[in-house]
Structure 1
Amino acid sequence: MTMLLTDDERRMRDGEEGAAVAAAMDLLIRYGDALGAERLVDTRNVAGTMTQPSPAKAQLVREGGWAKAYAVINLDSDEDLDIPRMKVPTCQLQHGFSDDADGLTGYSTQSIELQGDAESYFSDRGVNILATCTPYQVGNLPVRGEHVAWMESSAVVYANSVLGARTNCEGGASTGAAGLTGKIPYWGLHDPANRFATHVVRADVRVDSFQDWGMFGYFVGEQVLEARPAVIGDLGLPDLTDLKHFGAATATSGGVELYHVPGLTPEAPTLEAAFDGGPIPEAIVYGEAERRWVYETLNAQGESTDVDFILLGCPHASLDQLAQIAYRLEGRRLHDSVQLWVMTPRALATMAARNGYTRTIMRAGGHVLTDSCPAMSRAAPPDTKVFATDSAKQAHYLPAILGIEAWFGTLDECLDAAVTGRWTGGLA
C-alpha cells in the first residue's frame, strides 16, 4: 500500500524545498509504507537525537562534517546534503556527558568536545539543545491531542499518558526526517482508536511512595509488555516525579508507551472510559507477593554490601527531587570511597544552583551532573563495582551495560549508603 500524500508533501518529496527535505520525505514514505500507514500527519513538536557522540558518528564527521552524519544517521541517506533549519520546533533529548563530568569518569574528553561542536552546528539549524530525557520538565510541554514525534521510552510514555499528546516511540531517523518536514506517519498511538486500554492491573497493596510507584510500574510493564494498561486499586495521589518514575519502569520492563489511571490521566475520566465503554477484562492483581517479587528481582544483581557509587536522577531529577536530596544531605559527608551523582536537566541545574541545592550536595561530596546518565553514556566512576539507586530503570539496565552490581531502594537508603559506604536497605 502506498501512502496518500498531500500537495505539500509531494512538493517536498519532489525536491522543491531542497535535497535534504526530499530525502526526509523519502524516508517517511518508506517508513509509513512499511507500517501500513495510509497517510502522514502534521507535527509541530519533535524530540530526537542529533548531537550525542559515537565512534561511527565521529568517522562520518571526519568524512563530511555534521551534515554527513545527519544525512546518514538521521535521514538514511548517502547523499551529500546541505541541512537546512528545522521546519518545526525540534529538541535534542539527552546525549553524552558534558564538561561538568570531565575527569569524573572514563568518558573521553574527545567525545565531550565532539558533542560541543555538534551543539553549535545543530543549534544553528534550529535544534533546541534541551539535553534531557525529561523535556517536559524544561519547557517542551505538548498539549492534549497534539501529534508529536518523540524518542526515548520514558519521555514517550509520559507524553502519551500524563500529557495526552500522541506519539509512538520513534527513532533517530524518523525524528530526523520529522524535524525537516513537520510530518510523521499516522499510525499506532496517533490514532485515537489505538489509545484505549487493553488490560486492568489492580493494586491490592498501597502504592503511595516514590519507591512503590516505581515497583508497581515495573510489575505492570512485566505483565502487559507493550500493551496499554489501566491501573486501579489502592493508589495514593502521585505527583510528577511519581508518574515519571512509574512510566519509566513500565517502559523498562515491558515497553509500555501509554497507560491510564482512571480519574487522573486525561484520557480516562473513568475506568469505563479507558475501555471506550467496551468489556473490561479481569484485573491482574498486584499484591504483597507480587510487590516482594519486584523488589527481589531488582535487587537480584547485588551481593556485596560495600557500595562505591550512588546514582540518583533517572529519569532526570526534578527541582523538588534536588531539594529533597539537598535537605537530606545537609550537615552530612559522603564516605571517602563513595561517589554520588545526581542527574538533572541543565536548566534545572541552574535553578538548583540558584536555590543553594547544588552547594549543599557538593559540600557533602556529591556532584550534580547534566545532559546524560551512566546508561546513556556507558560510563560510571572508575573502578565502580557496586552501585545503589532509587531508579527501577537504572537498576534494571546498568548491571548489564557496565557489568556492575546493583541495589535498588529508597532515597534515604541510597543517601545512607552514600554516607556509610554500606548498603542496608530492605523492603518495608
Structure 2
Amino acid sequence: MKLSPYEEELLEGKKGPASRMAMEIIVHLGELYGAQEMIPISQAHIDGGLYAAVGEAGLEFAEKLHRLGGRVTVPTTMNATSRDVASWQKHRVGEDFAEKNRRMEQAYIGMGVVPTWTCVPYQCGLVPRFGEQLAWAESNAIVYVNSVIGARTERYGDYTDICCAITGRVPKFGLHIKENRRGQVVLNCENLSLKPQGDHFALLGYVTGYLVHDKIPVLVGVPKWVTPDHLKAFSAAVASSGGVAMFHMVGITPEAPDLKEALQGQTPEETMVLTDDMLGEAKEKLCCIRGSQVDGVLIGCPHASAPEIMEIARLVAGKKVAPDKEFWIYTNQSVYHWLEQTDVLDILTKSGVKIFRDTCFVNTDLSGWNFHQVMTNSAKYAHYVPSRTGLGVIFADLEECIKTALTPGDTI
C-alpha cells in the first residue's frame, strides 16, 4: 500500500507501540481488500466492548492496547456494554461477569473513548454530516449512517474499529468510495400496506436482507411519512437477515433523490416486487415458539428513543405489568436523562416496567431470570434469540407486546 509519511511513522512505531500495532492491523485489512492507500476519518464508533460477545480475547486485546499507551485520535463513541453500568445488580448479572465488563469499559475509557454505551450513536452521540468518512462498527449503526445520513463507513468489526480510531485512518475501499455506493437491486414497495404504527418496517428490513443478501437495495414506493425510528428498525433488521451495509429509499435517503441517482445511472442487476404476504412470511420466520407462556417482554434493540419510550408510557399509564411477567425497556444514558425531566419514568415505574441502560439483551447475562420464552418487537433480537440464548421467541408489534405484558397466565 502507498502510505503517507505520517502513516509510515505509525507503522514504524515512532508514535508508540499501540499506534504501531493498530496500523499493522489496518494495513493488513487494506491489503486483504485490495486497497491502494489510506484515507483520514473524522470519527469512529466502537463495538468491541461487549464482553458477552468478544469474551476473554476481546478483554485482553483492549487491555493490551491501553497498556501500550493507545489513545484515539478522532472523536470516538462506544457501543453498548454487557451490563447496566450503574445498576447491574438489578439485572441479576453475576459479579465476575460484571467485573470483566468493568475492566473492558475502563480500558476503552482510558484510551479516550466517549462512554456513550449505545448502539444508536446517530440518535444521541456524535452525529456525522453527509459525506463524512468514518470508521463505525455495530451493524444497525453502519447501515443507518451510510443510508439515512449519507456518511461513509465500511462494515468495521471488533478490534479493527479501535485500530482505526487510534490511527485516524481507514483503507480506501468499499463504501468509502462513491462508485461502490450505487444501488444494485430495486425493490418495488408500492403494493405494500405500510402503516406508521406496527412492525411493518422491521419486517420490511428483514425481507429485504434475505432477498438481497449483501447487495445494496433501492426501495421504491416507501411512504414519505417514514420516521427515524422506522428507519432504525429497518436498518437493524436488514443487517440481521442479510449482510447489507447500505440501502437507498427513493425520495427519502440523501443519495436517492430519484431512482436514476440511486443507481448512479446504471441498470439494476435485478428488480423485485414486494408483497404483504412476504412480510407475513417474515413474521412467521421470526417466531420460534416454545410453549404458551411468555416470561418477558423486551423492547429496545436497537436502544429505544425518547419518542418510543413516551409512546409506551402512554399505552401503560394506569395499568400494571402482570405478576408473572417481566417488561423491560433498554435505552441509553442520554435518553434516560432527557426523560428524567418528565413524568415518563414515573409512569413506567408505577406500571411495573423496568428500564435498563447501557446494555443490550442480545449481549448480556439473562441466566438469573430463568426465562423460557420472550416476546419482542425487534426483528434483530428475534433473529438472534434462539441461537444465542436457546429461548423461545415471539415477534410482535408494540401494542401486542404491551398487551402480553399486562395479561397474566398463558398468552398464546
TM-score, length of structure 1 as denominator length: 0.90
Find the residue that maps to 1:128 and give its secondary structure. coil
Find the residue that maps to 1:231 and give its secondary structure. strand
Partner of 2:295: 308
**Deviation, structure 1 residue 355:** 1.4
2:70 to 84, 90, 115: 84
1:160 to 138, 146, 150: 146
Find the residue that maps to 2:362 and give its secondary structure. helix
Matched pairs, number = 410
State yes or no: 1:114 paired with 2:100.
yes
* CA–CA separation in structure 1 for the residues paired with 2:231 and 2:114: 25
Over residues 257-304 of structure 1, what are the superposed CA-to-partner deviations in whole Å (9 max), with x where a residue is unaligned?
A: 1000011101111011111112245531211321221122122x1143
* CA–CA separation in structure 2 for the residues paired with 1:257 and 1:7: 32
Query: Aligned residues: percent identity?
Result: 28
State yes or no: 1:52 paired with 2:50.
yes
Partner of 1:276: 264
Residues 52, 96 of structure 1: 8 Å contact kept: yes
Partner of 1:65: none
**Deviation, structure 1 residue 305:** 3.0
State yes or no: 1:123 paired with 2:121.
no
Judging changes above 3 Å, is the alpha-carbon distance between structure 1 residues 370 and 71 closer, same or farther for their aligned structure 2 residues? closer
**Deviation, structure 1 residue 108:** 1.4
Judging changes above 3 Å, is the alpha-carbon distance between structure 1 residues 134 and 370 closer, same or farther for their aligned structure 2 residues? same
Over residues 212-247 of structure 1, what are the superposed CA-to-partner deviations in whole Å (9 max), with x where a residue is unaligned?
A: 111111111110011100011253521111000011
Judging changes above 3 Å, is the alpha-carbon distance between structure 1 residues 359 and 180 closer, same or farther for their aligned structure 2 residues? same
**Deviation, structure 1 residue 114:** 3.4
Residues 43, 148 of structure 1: 8 Å contact kept: yes
Matches within 5 A, 1:206-221: 206-209=193-196, 210-221=198-209
* CA–CA separation in structure 2 for the residues paired with 1:417 and 1:380: 22
Judging changes above 3 Å, is the alpha-carbon distance between structure 1 residues 137 and 277 closer, same or farther for their aligned structure 2 residues? same
Matches within 5 A, 1:144-293: 144-203=130-189, 204-209=191-196, 210-233=198-221, 235-280=223-268, 282-293=270-281
Matches within 5 A, 1:302-381: 302-379=289-366
Task: Report the AA paired with residue 298 of structure 2.
Answer: L
Partner of 1:98: 84
* Ranges of 4+ aligned residues in structure 1 off by more than 6 Å: none
Judging changes above 3 Å, is the alpha-carbon distance between structure 1 residues 272 and 381 closer, same or farther for their aligned structure 2 residues? farther
Partner of 2:400: 413
State yes or no: 1:403 paired with 2:390.
yes
Over residues 178-237 of structure 1, what are the superposed CA-to-partner deviations in whole Å (9 max), with x where a residue is unaligned?
A: 111100111110011100000011121222334111111111111001110001125352
State yes or no: 1:69 paired with 2:77.
no
Of residues 336-345 and 350-359 in structure 1, the stretch that sits farther from structure 2 once superposed is 350-359
Judging changes above 3 Å, is the alpha-carbon distance between structure 1 residues 290 and 54 closer, same or farther for their aligned structure 2 residues? closer
* CA–CA separation in structure 2 for the residues paired with 1:173 and 1:70: 8
**Deviation, structure 1 residue 31:** 1.2
Task: Report the AA paired with residue 33 of structure 2.
Answer: L
* CA–CA separation in structure 2 for the residues paired with 1:337 and 1:169: 41
Partner of 1:20: 18
Of residues 11-20 and 409-418 in structure 1, the stretch that sits farther from structure 2 once superposed is 11-20
Find the residue that maps to 2:93 and give its secondary structure. coil
**Deviation, structure 1 residue 58:** 5.4
Task: Report the AA paired with residue 250 of structure 2.
Answer: P
Judging changes above 3 Å, is the alpha-carbon distance between structure 1 residues 59 and 154 closer, same or farther for their aligned structure 2 residues? closer
Partner of 1:385: 372
Structure 1: which 5+ residue stretches go unaligned? 62-67
Partner of 2:285: 297
**Deviation, structure 1 residue 361:** 1.1
**Deviation, structure 1 residue 169:** 1.0
Residues 272, 280 of structure 1: 8 Å contact kept: no
Of residues 86-95 and 232-241 in structure 1, the stretch that sits farther from structure 2 once superposed is 232-241
* CA–CA separation in structure 2 for the residues paired with 1:106 and 1:81: 31
Judging changes above 3 Å, is the alpha-carbon distance between structure 1 residues 6 and 59 closer, same or farther for their aligned structure 2 residues? closer
Over residues 118-170 of structure 1, what are the superposed CA-to-partner deviations in whole Å (9 max), with x where a residue is unaligned?
A: 43443233110111110111122111111100111101000100010111110
Over residues 293-342 of structure 1, what are the superposed CA-to-partner deviations in whole Å (9 max), with x where a residue is unaligned?
A: 1122122x114332110000111000000100111110000111100110
Residues 374, 380 of structure 1: 8 Å contact kept: no
Judging changes above 3 Å, is the alpha-carbon distance between structure 1 residues 311 and 371 closer, same or farther for their aligned structure 2 residues? same
Partner of 1:64: none
Task: Report the AA paired with residue 259 of structure 2.
Answer: L
Residues 149, 175 of structure 1: 8 Å contact kept: yes
Judging changes above 3 Å, is the alpha-carbon distance between structure 1 residues 380 and 273 closer, same or farther for their aligned structure 2 residues? farther
* CA–CA separation in structure 2 for the residues paired with 1:207 and 1:54: 36
Structure 2: which 5+ residue stretches go unaligned? none
Judging changes above 3 Å, is the alpha-carbon distance between structure 1 residues 174 and 96 closer, same or farther for their aligned structure 2 residues? same
Task: Report the AA paired with residue 265 of structure 1.
Answer: T
Partner of 1:29: 27
Judging changes above 3 Å, is the alpha-carbon distance between structure 1 residues 304 and 162 closer, same or farther for their aligned structure 2 residues? same
* CA–CA separation in structure 2 for the residues paired with 1:282 and 1:190: 24
Residues 227, 256 of structure 1: 8 Å contact kept: yes
Judging changes above 3 Å, is the alpha-carbon distance between structure 1 residues 351 and 422 closer, same or farther for their aligned structure 2 residues? farther
Task: Report the AA paired with residue 348 of structure 1.
Answer: V
**Deviation, structure 1 residue 53:** 3.0
